Structure formats: structure tokens, C-alpha cells
């Protein structure tokens, strides 16, 4: 999801619903509806196309986590392009219900929707780490500082895995944690988006 700096958790909705178009893969050009729960907007098509070009050779068979999923633009796009599974997390009940309904409309049983605050969800590590994590948190709420020490760990992302992050362009991108590299980065208007890549070797298992 991409939400402009006014960001996702607004007050009264300004329109009854929003529309998401899948831009690639099995469901290319499919249009899906979602409620306007506080101004959620899908990441622009150009941004998504750039991101999934970066990940092009790593999506097939991957397990993905979409935090702050909103409309599900990133998680659903990943599933359309060959991800084997995606967990979509959002605390807004109306959005979570819309995600479940859209997965049903797509006849997809590879998506799991969790209606829970992201902080609560991250309090318990998953049964197995993910291959790709998407993080587009609300701006100016300190989420990057909260997420950085948690998500960039072998418990959440396997060695050789990927973390995608969006943040406001007027702040610096946090440095890559030890064992990670900033693989790609671009800025479009008020949003900076970047992709981090983990070393293929776990921190406690040096190469050789």
C-alpha cells in the first residue's frame, strides 16, 4: 500500500470505496474494490511496476508478508505474480473483510488475512520466516524506528530474503542493518521506496 503523507488512519471517509487494479501476472488488469477506511490508496502502478521488476526473479514460490496491507495492492500483486503464499496484516476490520472477499473473488486460497495491529502481530515470530516482507507504514508515527529492530532478523526474514519499505521522502532512509544491503532505492514525489536484501548466510553461520 501507498498512502500519502496525510496517511492511512484518517477521520471520516471521503468516498464510499476505492479501486485497485492488478498490473501483472495471473490476474493482470483485474479490478478490485475496497472500502475507503481513512484514505487508503494503492501504491501507484508505476511504483508497483518498479518494485516487482526489482523482485522479478525472486517471486515464484516465495512466502510474502504484507504489513499495513490496506487494499492489499502489494500482497495481491505478489500472489498474482507467482508467490506461493501471502499473509496480509491490517488492523481495520472493514479492510480485512474486503481483503478476504477479494481473495474469494480471485479464487485464491494462498492468501491469509490477519486483522490485528501490526505491533501485536510482530510480538510473536512466525512458524517459519518469510522470503519477502512489504512494509508501507503510516507516515510520521515512528513506525520505522519500531520496526527496524524487529523485522530485519532471521526469525522474520530468511537468509537471502527481501524487505521492501516506503517512507516519507523528507526523512533519511535508516541504514541497512548488519548482514543486509540497500539493494535499490527511488524517490517519487513525497515518497521514497527502497528494497533491502539479506545476506544469503545466517548471521550465526558464516560462509565457507
User: Under DSSP, is residue 185 helix (H, G, I), strand (E, B) or coil?
Assistant: strand
Q: Are 121 and 66 in contact (CB under 8 A)?
A: no
Between CA 48 and CA 37 the distance in angstroms is 21
Query: Span 33-59, mean pLDDT?
Result: 85
Query: Span 25-52, mean pLDDT?
Result: 85
Instruction: Output the pLDDT for position 11.
Output: 33
Q: Is the pLDDT of residue 7 over 50?
A: no
- In this prediction, residue 38 has a pLDDT band, given cuts at 50, 70 and 90, of low
pTM, 2 dp: 0.87
The overall longest dimension of the chain from CA atoms, in Å, is 57
Average pLDDT over the chain, rounded to an integer: 87
Between CA 78 and CA 196 the distance in angstroms is 17
CA–centroid distance for 19 within its chain: 18
pLDDT tens-digit readout, 79-101: 999 999 999 999 999 999 999 99
Instruction: Output the pLDDT for position 1.
Output: 52
Compute the half-sphere exposure of residue 198: CA atoms within 13 Å on the CB side of its CA. Answer: 24
Amino acid at each position: 500500500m501507498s498512502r500519502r503523507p496525510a496517511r492511512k488512519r484518517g477521520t471520516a471517509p471521503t468516498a464510499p470505496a476505492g479501486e485497485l487494479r492488478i498490473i501483472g501476472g495471473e490476474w493482470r488488469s483485474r479490478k478490485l474494490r475496497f472500502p475507503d477506511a481513512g484514505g487508503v490508496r494503492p501504491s501507484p502502478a508505476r511504483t508497483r511496476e518498479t518494485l516487482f521488476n526489482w523482485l522479478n526473479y525472486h517471486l515464484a514460490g516465495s512466502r510474502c508478508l504484507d504489513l499495513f496491507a490496506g487494499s492489499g495492492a502489494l500482497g495481491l500483486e505478489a500472489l498474482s505474480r507467482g508467490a506461493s503464499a501471502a499473509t496480509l496484516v491490517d488492523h481495520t476490520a472493514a479492510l480485512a473483510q474486503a481483503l478476504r472477499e477479494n481473495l474469494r473473488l480471485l479464487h485464491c486460497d494462498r492468501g491469509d488475512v490477519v486483522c490485528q495491529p501490526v505491533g501485536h502481530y510482530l510480538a510473536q515470530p512466525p512458524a517459519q520466516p518469510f522470503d519477502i516482507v512489504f512494509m508501507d507504514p503510516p507516515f510520521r508515527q515512528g513506525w520505522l524506528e519500531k520496526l527496524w529492530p524487529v523485522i530485519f532478523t532471521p526469525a522474520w526474514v530468511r537468509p537471502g530474503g527481501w524487505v521492501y519499505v516506503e517512507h516519507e521522502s523528507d526523512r533519511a532512509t535508516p541504514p541497512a542493518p548488519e548482514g543486509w544491503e540497500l539493494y535499490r532505492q527511488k524517490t517519487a514525489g513525497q515518497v521514497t521506496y527502497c528494497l533491502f536484501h539479506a545476506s544469503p548466510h545466517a548471521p550465526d553461520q558464516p560462509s565457507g
